[in-house]
Amino acid sequence: MSNELLISRRDLEFQLYEWLNVGALTRAERYADHGRETYDAVLDACERLATEKFAPHYQKADRVEPQFDGERVTLIDEIGPALKAFADAGLPAATQDYERGGMQLPTVIEKAAWSYLCAANISTAAYPLLSLANARLLLHHGNAAQIAAFAEPQLRGEWFGTMCLSEPQAGSSLADVTTRAEYEGESPFGGQYRVSGNKMWISGGDHELGGNIVHLVLARVADADGQVIPGVKGLSLLLVPKYLVNGDGSLGERNDVRVAGINHKMGYRGIVNTLLNFGEGTAYQPAGKAGAIGYLVGPLHGGLACMFHMMNEARIGIGLGATALGYTAYLHSLDYARNRPQGRSFGSRSSKQQPIIEHADVRRMLLAQKSYAEGALGLNLYCALLVDQARVTTDESERAQLEQLLELLTPVAKSWPSQWCLAGNDLAIQIHGGYGYTREYKVEQLYRDNRLNPIHEGTHGIQALDLLGRKITMNEGAALMQFSARVSATIDHAHELDGLASHADALHAQLKRLQQVTRTLWSAGDPVLTLANASVYLEAFGHIVIAWIWLQQAAAAHGKDSDFHQGKRQAAQYFFAWELPKVTAQLDLLAALDRSTLDMRDSWF
């Protein structure tokens, strides 16, 4: 695949350097060794890797699914070398400290570089994506022995990791997790437990890509009487390796973790998805006994809080993946529309067919795709920059504010691209006409791959409950106030720039309305009613966030006359004319505290 059809390098450079001004990060000691040269070198490396190692097996990984013969999982041969090349380039530990073998690269550059890999082959990219989130969780919550034995090999790209939350009966509702862990004594890696239970949907749950697989498992620890604490408060986090690790770091015996089966997915097929049995005791009995050996990570009964570290990172990663899939589909559509002759423009007398990009309706679809993809990329990079700014600030209250804003934006950064870049994927098929509906073109696979994103890592509905039920109300609405202050600052700035006042006014009006509606929703005195339409709130809030991102991009493009900058202004114009007004109807519905869904009865369907 041509690298020009993955992610626009010109756009990445605009977003990083002309808008987000990531160069300013080098003022912080942590990033002092960096500058545009190193940032560009990382982008170059990932662009090359994506084009040469990840993209070539994108369609093969879809056609030739992972296989399970009852014992072993096998993947196509190309995934291993691609991930080895990724590791050899030192990319897994890129953002880590020098002492850990990292480059102290800002997260915003890492995410920009990752967008190439996700656009080229989302499934192959998902193996390290999960492993790095796993390793970072351990760096944060693990003890020194756990970090050395289990996080560092993942940061070197030698081992891989999973997150094991879901069970057949417990997907959205983790309060219903039943996997158990029983204390066995102390070990060099901390408290040792025997884990038993079934985990469903585990991505990367088994394969032979690396030396070991580190499973992070949510389980319920029983007390001395065998009793467990119910609900999410009773969940603890256990580190369960596929192979046990000896005191000297060498691999020991096989742990009692078995693949019970693999799931056959609609898309995203290159990453194996497994049902894992822990503690089955049929094939493996570590230390002569049934039960998977696991080590407690973080505090007893503090598992969900620890896991949130991984989930939040994974959520932003999923938003970026959804964006990349929508982005590359947009570039494929653009290329196709420029090269596909069909029909003549209305009123044209020419005998020659014109490329379909000449039809206004095709340009409508392309503009929608562009506004979704570049807007979503902007939100993901903005969030990544918040991570970096929070990391380097020496002002504690500023750090708290940055983290709070990131928490507020996380459900949007996950959900908005999952919804709207998927809509962009749908338009990509439409622009390709009948050809888009065949497997000869990539756009149908990009759509199928992206269809997962509104489902995993907290469904759309669960993200909506998180935003309206938790993030909006936390610290008495402080995050929403901070968000509003930032949007208002952009509006004030835009008012000073020719041509942006009407966008600024439109955003101002929707922001005020959002604040009023939020107050109305939370003064209803009935949280069930308030939360009944949470998905609509998430969608309205998301469009306001992306309008804000577009206003910032339009301001950054202000006064610059190249085609590229004109394109930015036109995409902003599209978003404000066609997309932001949709929010009015959504906010009207929310303000009315509509009961249609609540009052509907099962028997009436």
Ligand X SMILES: Cc1cc2nc3c(=O)[nH]c(=O)nc-3n(C[C@H](O)[C@H](O)[C@H](O)COP(=O)(O)OP(=O)(O)OC[C@H]3O[C@@H](n4cnc5c(N)ncnc54)[C@H](O)[C@@H]3O)c2cc1C
The residue ranges that bind ligand X (CB under 6 A) are 162-166, 171-172, 201-203, 265, 268, 273, 452, 455-457, 459, 461-462
Q: Which is nearer to ligand X, 51 or 203 (CB)?
A: 203
Q: Which is nearer to ligand X, 415 or 552 (CB)?
A: 415
Q: Which is nearer to ligand X, 135 or 462 (CB)?
A: 462
- Kindly state the tokens that stand for 204: 């990367």
Least distance to ligand X from the beta carbon of 520, Å?
21
The CA–CA distances, whole Å, from 179 to 166, 194, 309 equal 10, 11, 20
Q: Which is nearer to ligand X, 262 or 421 (CB)?
A: 262
Least distance to ligand X from the beta carbon of 202, Å?
5
Least distance to ligand X from the beta carbon of 274, Å?
9
d(CA 493, CA 299): 46
- Kindly state the tokens that stand for 157: 């790209």
Least distance to ligand X from the beta carbon of 349, Å?
52
Q: Which is nearer to ligand X, 455 or 577 (CB)?
A: 455
Estimate to the nearest angstrom the gap between the alpha carbon of 184 and the chain centroid: 36
Residue 447: which residues within 8 A CB-CB, separation 6 or more? Answer: 267, 329, 422, 425, 426, 428, 429
Least distance to ligand X from the beta carbon of 166, Å?
4
Closest-CA residue to 280 (of 259, 294, 251):
259
Q: Which is nearer to ligand X, 196 or 401 (CB)?
A: 196
Q: Which is nearer to ligand X, 404 or 535 (CB)?
A: 535
Closest-CA residue to 443 (of 123, 119, 124):
119
Question: Closest CB to ligand X belongs to which residue?
Answer: 171
Tokens 């219903």 -> residue: 176
Closest-CA residue to 297 (of 100, 155, 137):
137
Least distance to ligand X from the beta carbon of 201, Å?
3
Q: Which is nearer to ligand X, 19 or 278 (CB)?
A: 278
Which amino acid is located at 310 in the chain?
M
Least distance to ligand X from the beta carbon of 439, Å?
20
How many residues are recorded in the chain?
A: 605
d(CA 309, CA 513): 33
DSSP strand pairing (213-221 vs 160-164):
parallel
Phi first, then psi: give them for residue 276, nearest 5 degrees.
Answer: -110, 135
Least distance to ligand X from the beta carbon of 465, Å?
6
231 Ramachandran zone, left/alpha/beta (phi>0; psi -120 to 50)? left
Least distance to ligand X from the beta carbon of 199, Å?
7
Give the SS3 label for residue 26.
helix
Q: Which is nearer to ligand X, 22 or 202 (CB)?
A: 202
Q: Which is nearer to ligand X, 181 or 491 (CB)?
A: 181
DSSP letter string over 214-235? EEEEEEEE--TTS----SGGGE
CB 296 within 8 A of CB 193: yes
Least distance to ligand X from the beta carbon of 214, Å?
13
Q: Which is nearer to ligand X, 16 or 129 (CB)?
A: 129
Residue 320: which residues within 8 A CB-CB, separation 6 or more? Answer: 111, 114, 115, 118, 380, 417
Least distance to ligand X from the beta carbon of 203, Å?
4
Tokens 């990840």 -> residue: 54
CB 276 within 8 A of CB 215: yes
